[in-house]
Chains A and B, each alone.
Chain A
């Protein structure tokens, strides 16, 4: 079974702090994704990566950056956390073949005070 893990289930940070959210997958997947989920808005793509050291902006990249130094690990960075970044953050990975699905981690609920 595919396993996608995220470093924290719950996180509380203060405005202005630098925040790192870590995601690790154990199935040698090419693609990795970061989403945020807010009520009534579904999942919105922040960034994705289709290879090591490669990254692409999603629909809402402002205020975020990412890092993919190793194939299995994809980090989301909030350079200076703000209260409007309080949300559920979901990481996903996929093999990168036609018709493949994304496998999701359990999510990190981030609260910025």
Chain B
């Protein structure tokens, strides 16, 4: 059974801090790892990672995958209160025709 474990489960920091969110996985037939941000409603897509060691970056957010050690991290620098959300990590193990296996998420709270 595919498994995705995120840590920490919750995190409270002050505005301006840098945070690192972790995601480890055990899946058969790994294809890609995806990060999503979930606020009040459905998740919004952040990154998809397929290759080890290649950092993906979007503004203050970046992410990298280590396929040997089976984990990924999501970094957020200079955090803002608008970054408060649940960050979900998901793994795709069968391609476009298979559903994603999600971790439980990291609940990030940015205090002013």
Pairing of A with B: no
B interface list, Cβ under 8 A from A = none
A interface list, Cβ under 8 A from B = none
